[in-house]
Amino acid sequence: MTFDADTNARPLFKERVLWTLVIGLFFFLIYGSTNQLSALTAPHPSFFWQWERDVPFIPEFIVPYMSSDIVFIIAFLVAPTRASIQKLGIRYGLAITISALFFITFPLQFNFERPEVIGWTKFLFDGLSLDQPYNQFPSLHISLGFLAWHQIFKRLFKFGFGFVSTTIWFLLIAASTILVYQHHFIDLIGGAMVVIGVYWLIPDKGPSRMRLLFVTPRHLHMGFRYLIVATLFTVIAFKFKEAAIIFAWLAVSFLSVSASYVLGLNGFLRKKRNRHPFLSWIIFWPYLLGCWVNWLFWRARISLMAEIKPGIWIGARPGKNDWDQIKAMGICSIIDLVPELSTKPPTTIDHNHFPLLDIAIPYPGTLHQIAQKIDTCSKQGPVYIHCALGMSRSVLAVSALLISQGATTAEALDIVGRARPEKINRPYISIALELYENYLGKRS
């Protein structure tokens, strides 16, 4: 087994790196964007108590303040299980998202003038000067710092010195937000409130109010790709203000796609009755348009369909002119695996939709449901399983059927490959089917 998908399994190092990259880039995208927006609409009010004017400025505290980035990464490196690293990543993401809503809705700015810094700490403050005095309430330094500390604390609890030193360092980070004149005290209270909200949504024990779905490194890899695209469009939106709305819309669309991969949301487009609802079009039109253009380009270069075994066909999402060929094959049922493209079969053909994220590893239980549905439909007549191009998701589905009927992963892929040579030959396909084979073994 090349990948143990169990939630209690130890995460791969690649998985830790991907979570760090995804959440790190998400932080810089959201924090940077909200800071720029606040700068465009400045000045903003400040909130502080008079006693805060007596708080000393201690430049040496810039060290714990800047170290929060390192603590952020360490938390991912010490997470012991796949479930714990997923919880940590989503908690980070929630804290960033909740805070960003406050940054946009109730922007505050820091009111005190920072004294001139000299000596060895100056270069650190020079780097901090890039951060504008907005994004104050709630303090992400507090919320993200606590989430990181809690993850590290759970690993070091058995080691007294490690636990104490980590706790002291977190308290230094918390104090530094005030002592380097970066936040007012109200911001720390806000950060603590965000932490309470995050743990209410995703508690350490008991059922989570936010459902955690099946996510693999492949999901994270795809999510990171779309996040890079969203970041590029965001930069362009701020640079070319005349077209800012269009580029911002593109950024939000691809950011939403990225989040759907990271969260494992197969049905994020909510395709129903063979088409997408209006709200999905409003949010995801750039992504949907891109998928349609990609389908249009490749559809002219590959064959529509191939018969894997008598009465069971796989292939591409049919275009308007393809349905006559499908009807000529006597197809009675459609298994539609593509959420990003509409499918409009004739009313005489039974349509079944099982949305799967493209180029990702589906949950083995979902593959089993699809395999069972194919088996049921095939007993009533020929069935057509399609994704966008008939090269990956449909390959996984029909291979799962073959495995459920006694074939090995290698045998199933060989059978499909001989009938559909266009299929994708990437490691994630084999990994997904090996996971499914293991899933069947545990069920028997």
pLDDT, tens digit, for every residue of 284-333? Answer: 999 999 999 999 999 999 999 999 999 999 999 999 899 999 999 999 99
pLDDT given at position 128: 83
- Return the residue matching tokens 């820091």: 110
Q: What is the mean pLDDT of residues 133-149?
A: 95
pLDDT at 183: 95
> What is the rounded distance in angstroms from the CA atom of residue 174 to the CA atom of residue 172?
5
Residue 174 located in a structural domain: yes
Q: Taking a C-beta distance cutoff of 8 angstroms, is the pair 184, 136 a contact?
A: yes
In the chain, what is the greatest distance between 2 CA atoms, to the nearest angstrom?
84
Query: Among 212, 235, 252, where does a domain finish?
Result: 212
- Same domain, yes or no: 207 and 317: no
How far, in Å, are 8, 17, 166, 365, 413 from residue 153 at the CA level? 19, 20, 7, 34, 45
Q: Are residues 27 and 156 in the same domain?
A: yes
Backbone angles phi, psi at 312, to 5 degrees: -125, 115
Residues facing residue 78 across a β-bridge: none
Q: Does residue 351 lie within any of the structural domains?
A: yes
Percent of the chain whose pLDDT exceeds 90: 87
pLDDT tens digits for 92-132?
999 999 999 999 999 999 999 999 999 999 999 988 877 88
Q: Is residue 1 part of a domain?
A: no
User: Is the CB of residue 185 less than 8 Å from the CB of residue 175?
Assistant: no
Residue 16 reports pLDDT greater than 80: yes
User: pLDDT value at position 442?
Assistant: 86
Do 73 and 192 lie in a common domain?
Answer: yes
Over range 30-58, report the average pLDDT. 94
Q: Is the pLDDT of residue 414 over 60?
A: yes
Identify the CA nearest to 430 among candidates 399, 387, 401. Answer: 399
Backbone φ and ψ for 396, nearest 5 degrees, come out as: -60, -45
Q: Tell whether 228 is covered by a domain.
A: no
How would you classify residue 178: left for phi > 0, otherwise alpha for psi between -120 and 50, otherwise beta? Answer: alpha
Tell me the C-alpha distance between 295 and 315, whole Å: 12
- Residue 323 is predicted with a pLDDT of 93
Determine the Cα–Cα distance for residues 365 and 369; give it in Å rounded to an integer: 6
| Cα distances (angstroms) measured from residue 272 to each of 261, 269, 295 | 20, 9, 20
Q: Is the pLDDT of residue 192 over 80?
A: yes
Statement to judge: residues 202 and 330 lie in one domain: no
Cβ(62)–Cβ(176) under 8 Å? yes
188 within some domain: yes
261-283 pLDDT tens trace: 999 999 999 998 788 999 999 99
What whole-number distance in Å separates Cα of residue 424 and Cα of residue 317?
A: 16
- Which of 181, 212, 243 represents a domain boundary (last residue)? 212
CATH number at residue 355: 3.90.190.10
How far is it, in rounded angstroms, from Cα 125 to Cα 207?
43
Q: What is the tens place of the pLDDT at every residue in 143-176?
A: 999 999 999 988 876 666 677 888 899 999 999 9
Alpha helices in 329-408 (DSSP H): 364-378, 393-404
Together in a domain, 58 and 175: yes
Query: CA 344 from chain center: how many Å?
Result: 30
DSSP state of 272: B
Q: Which of 212, 227, 247 is the last residue of a domain?
A: 212
pLDDT of 156: 77
What pLDDT score was predicted for residue 2?
66
- Quickly state the pLDDT bin for 202 (edges 50, 70, 90): very high
Do both 187 and 320 map to the same domain? no
Residues 312 and 206 in one domain: no
Average pLDDT over residues 343-348: 90
**Percent of the residues in the chain that have a pLDDT greater than 70, as a whole number:** 98
Distance CA 409, CA 400 (A): 8
What's the average model confidence in pLDDT over 27-37? 96
What is the tally of structural domains in the chain? 2
pLDDT attached to residue 130: 74
Q: Is residue 52 part of a domain?
A: yes
On whether both 52 and 186 belong to a single domain, the answer is yes
Which two structure tokens, joined as six digits, stand for 50? 């008079």
Q: Answer whether 85's CB lies under 8 Å from 11's CB.
A: yes
Report residue 373 as tokens: 């549905």
Same-domain check for residues 205 and 307 = no
Question: Are the C-beta atoms of 361 and 219 separated by less than 8 Å?
Answer: yes
Instruction: Specify the pLDDT at position 160.
Output: 66
263 in a structural domain: no
Taken as a whole, the chain contains a residue count of: 444
The region of weakest confidence among 171-180, 254-263, 424-433, 435-444 is 435-444
Q: Where are the beta strands (DSSP E) in 37-118?
A: none
Strand partners, 386: 315, 336
Q: Could you say which DSSP state residue 106 is in?
A: S
Residue 385: both structure tokens together: 């399983």
Are residues 155 and 19 part of one domain?
A: yes
- Report yes or no on 129 lying in a domain: yes
Spatial strand order of the sheet with 383-386 comes to: 305-309, 312-315, 383-386, 333-336, 350-353
pLDDT band at 426 (very low <50, low <70, confident <90, very high): very high
- Pairing between β-strand 305-309 and β-strand 312-315 as defined by DSSP bridges: antiparallel
Across residues 59-86, what is the average pLDDT?
95
Looking at every residue in the chain, the average pLDDT score rounds to: 94
**Residues 6+ positions from 5 with CB-CB distance below 8 Å:** 82, 214, 216, 361, 364, 435
The domain in which residue 175 lies consists of: 13-212
**Tokens standing for 44?**
């903003």
| pLDDT at site 316 | 97
Residue 53 pLDDT class (50, 70, 90 cuts): very high
- More confident: 336 or 166: 336
